[in-house]
Chains A and B, each alone.
Chain A
Amino acid sequence: MASSIGAMLESARQTLVMLRYRRTWWWALPGLAGLFALAYAAGLRAPERVAGADMFCVFAWWSLSSVVVPWVAVFLGVQAVHGELEDRTAQYLFLRPVSRAALLFGKWLAVAMVSSAISVGAAAVIYAGVGAHAARWPDGGEPELLYAFGETVIFGAIAYTSVAMLFGAAFRRPLVWSAFFVVGLQLVAANLPVSAGLRRLTITDPMRRMVLDRIEPSPRLARMLWPAEREFSYDDIGAPVQNLVWFTLVGLLVAVVCYARAEYDSRSRD
């Protein structure tokens, strides 16, 4: 029998290979190229007074936090978990003498790696697209902004991947639930006061606090990134990394419970 660590790494390797077979890069690379084109076009059309740094932060925040990071992680994660359950090929894995937790952790690891790489790539192409307009960067480039966003999207992608694992393992229509979570819940929470407890159930909120903590924005930029908060204060930032780590761990734990339930092969699924 394989050890749990060995099974997890093998599951991660196999998931990576399957993602490659599913032509992940075929749509990821054109997607990144399109994002570069959009960022470049935005740099051409925006009013001259808009600074390159502000422009990058706003463009990167809204495109990455609302679209790229959640949907890449959710799509790949759901594909890795739910696709096998739906077409029942997961049964071949469940017959093996390894724990289902190890299988799921492996899938999570692989999807988190790929979605993090794509998300960081997206942040980089946006930086390149906006940065191509040298006139907007009178003091030269500010790569620390890219590092800040890169770090944030990695944590975000990891957390969203755990959500994808959970929805993929628990629900029959995981993409619908994901849409409810990514668009519905997070959109509502984003407009709630800073003190609202519902914000804790989102990934966008700690990602936003993490970005604000890293980039030290002007009040104007802070308002653009956090419209719900009129009086931005660093006291409100809290511990976003800790929040994201907890979110990831709880999401993964519940996902494992769902994935490891005794009976996947219900008669209705047959």
Chain B
Amino acid sequence: MSWPVKTIAERTGDLLPGSPWTAALYVLLTILAVTAFMTVTGLVLIYAERKIAAHFQCRLGPMRVGWHGVLQTIADALKLLLKEDIVPRDADALLHILAPVLSFAGMLLVMIALPMSPSLQVADMNIGVLYVTAVSGLGVLGILLGGWSSNNKWSLLGAMRAGAQIISYEVSATLALLVVVLFSGTLQLSGIVQSQEAGWWIWRAHGCGIVAFAIFLIAGTAEINRTPFDLAEGESELTAGFHTEYSGLRFSFFFLSEFLNMFVLAAMTSTLFLGGWMPLHIGHFTVFNGVMDIIPPGLWFTFKTTGMIFLIMWFRWTFPRLRVDQLMRLEWKILLPIGFVNLFVSAACVVTGCYFFAR
């Protein structure tokens, strides 16, 4: 079974010669849909986090607003919208306002490259992996600027921690990502998904896949500043870290981009290692593969991403936080050497053509 990929960008291109106005309308609708998707995903994730945390902690979580508190997040978002918008007197006002936008933009730009199903991908660049790596680095700029411009020592400490942490862990995340690029032989995200038709890279790439998966997950969790790597916030140490001085709408931008970053990480992990929207296929088990194909690719993507999100939330509500020097040691002395060795081993595997479930 083949999976023809048609992205939204391509469909706009098809419409363009006939009628530019239709194409413009199509682009407008796409922008609206992406915005709506992000907002809804953010709200759902925040609600899910609160409920999952609550059940890990022997309590119920929000129960009052709507059925089982489903409207609680919306109520909170409205509250944040109505709050007074404060810029501290001695803060650098321009950068203070710009920081959450930058943080949000970094996440938004990654979002458009995510392959959610063969027909649901905004743009499919032939250097997708490179693009994602490059653009996701924008987020740290927002955090650094936010901490710097607040003119608060706790914020600055948080921002500096975040800067050191995100830049360090990006190295390991990229090394893990390169393993998949080596095996699939393409930088295109939809190409990586299609290369996993015979089996997902997490197990098809010998041991390398699972090592790369673990490294990517750890480094990714550190990049999105979640427990056990939430040093940039570190509420018990730095009160609220880089967003100590943020309130109202600007705080909610930081908050939303933090949750959507989690979605992006989960989506990227499932795309690279768990086959993305590709159904579960096992070698030449034609009947089994046929049954799996009945489930639409969009649902497969949702299942895998949800599973990864649950895993990341599970980390957060189980582990305590690392210390700042331990964090750096973990990256530079443990993850990075393992990542390099793993990359060399997988390069050897690719050169010798050593795959499981070879095509």
- Chain B associates with chain A: no
Chain A residues proximal to chain B, CB less than 8 Å: none
